Amino acid sequence: MTHPTVLLSGVAKRYGAVQAVTDVSFVLNEGETVALVGHNGAGKTTLIKLMLGLIRPSAGKIAVMGEDPAIGDFSVRQRLGYLPESVAFHMALTGRETLAFYARLKRVAASNSLDLLERVGLSAAAADRPVRTYSKGMRQRLGLAQALLGEPRLLLLDEPTSGLDPALRRRFYDLLSELRSKGTTILLSSHALTELEDRADRVLIVNDGVTIADGTLDDLRALARLPTRISLKVHNSAGFGSSENAKVAWKLTGNATFEADVAMEDKIALLKEVTANPGDIATLHITEPTLDDLYAHFLNGGRARA
C-alpha cells in the first residue's frame, strides 16, 4: 500500500496568544506539485516549519514519509529539501564550500556539488567565488542547490523564484518538472500566482490559519463558478448580439470586437451559437478564471454557488 509523502490531520499551532494555524488537514502525494498560497500571515511558513519538524504542532497529527518529522528517524530528515524565503549564507565561503558545509550537516555526499550548481545556473567560475560577490538571484540559486542535496523526496520551497529573471525562472521550473517525474513531492509557497497556474497539480489556499480551498485548478473553478470571458471579432458587426443567447450581454470593446462574461453552465451553448457560421468570425478568445481570480474569490469568503 502506498503511503502519502505528507499527511496533516487537524493541525493547529499556537504561539502564546497568537493562533498561527487553527485547523489544517491535507495530503501531499508522491510526484505531486502543490502550490500553497495565501497572504502574509496566513500560516504558510508555519506549516512548512511544522513539516520540517522545526516546530511541533499544538494539536493534530503530522506524518512525513510515515514519521513524525520532529522526533522521527534522521534518515527521513535527510530526504527533505528546504529553500527559505530569505536565504542567508556565510559571505566569506565560496559556493562550493557552502554546499560542502550543508552536505556535512545533512550527512550526504558533496561529490556532485559542481553538477548541482550547474543545474541551477551557477557556473564553475561562480562556484569558487565568495558568496559576498553573488547577486540576489545567484544566492537564490545557491539556496536551491543546497535544497537539492541528497536527492530529496520532499522539496519545500518558500518564494523560490524571488530574484530570478524570466529565463532563470523557466530553467527553475524545468528542473522541478524533472524532479517531479522522478517521484519528488514538491510544495511551492508563492505569491507569483500567474506562474503557478500551469505548473501545480493542486492548489492549497490558506487564510487565517485555515485551509479555505484545496483542489486542482478545474476543481476550484467548478467550486467558485466564476464566469468565463468570451471575446470575438466578427467580419460584419451589424446586428451582432441581437439574436444570440439571451442570457449574455455583449459589449462592443473595439472595431467589430465583442466581449461577454458567461456563466459556466451557459458557455458551451453560447459557443455553439456564435460558431454556427464560422465564416462570420475573424478571431475567438476564451479566458477562464485565473488563479488570481480564484484566490481573490475564496479569500473574500466565496463559496460554491448554487
Domain boundaries, the chain: 4-222, 227-288
CA 159 to chain centre: 9
Percentage above 70 pLDDT, the chain: 95
CA 275 from chain center: how many Å? 36
Average pLDDT over the chain, rounded to whole?
Answer: 88
For 230, the 3-state DSSP assignment is: strand
Chain CA centroid to CA 261, Å: 27
Q: Which CATH class is domain 227-288?
A: alpha beta
- CATH H superfamily, domain 4-222: P-loop containing nucleotide triphosphate hydrolases (3.40.50.300)
**pLDDT per residue over 60-116, tens digit each?**
999 999 999 888 777 788 889 999 988 889 999 999 999 999 999 888 887 778 888
> Residue 203's pLDDT is what?
95
| pLDDT for position 107 | 87
Separation between Cα atoms, residue 139 and residue 141, nearest integer Å: 5
**Nearest-angstrom CA–CA distance, 121 and 134:** 13
Residues 254-297: tens digit of each pLDDT: 888 889 999 888 888 888 888 888 888 899 999 999 999 999 99
Residue 304: the pLDDT is: 41
CA R_g for the chain: 24
- Amino acid symbol at 75: S
* 199-205 average pLDDT score: 93
pLDDT, position 305 = 37
**pLDDT tier for residue 150 given thresholds of 50, 70 and 90:** confident
Query: CA 289: distance to chain centroid?
Result: 17
User: What is residue 306's predicted lDDT score, i.e. its pLDDT?
Assistant: 32
Kindly report, residue by residue over 214-252, the tens digit of the pLDDT.
999 999 999 999 999 999 998 887 767 665 545 678 888
Q: What is the pLDDT of residue 168?
A: 83
pTM, 2 dp: 0.86
Measure the CA dihedral 103/104/109/112, to 10°. 40
Of 87, 11, 33, whose CA–CA distance to 202 is shortest?
33
Planar angle of CA 8, 11, 16, nearest 5 degrees: 150
pLDDT in tens, 18-35: 999 999 999 999 999 999
Alpha-carbon dihedral sign for residues 169, 175, 181, 183: negative
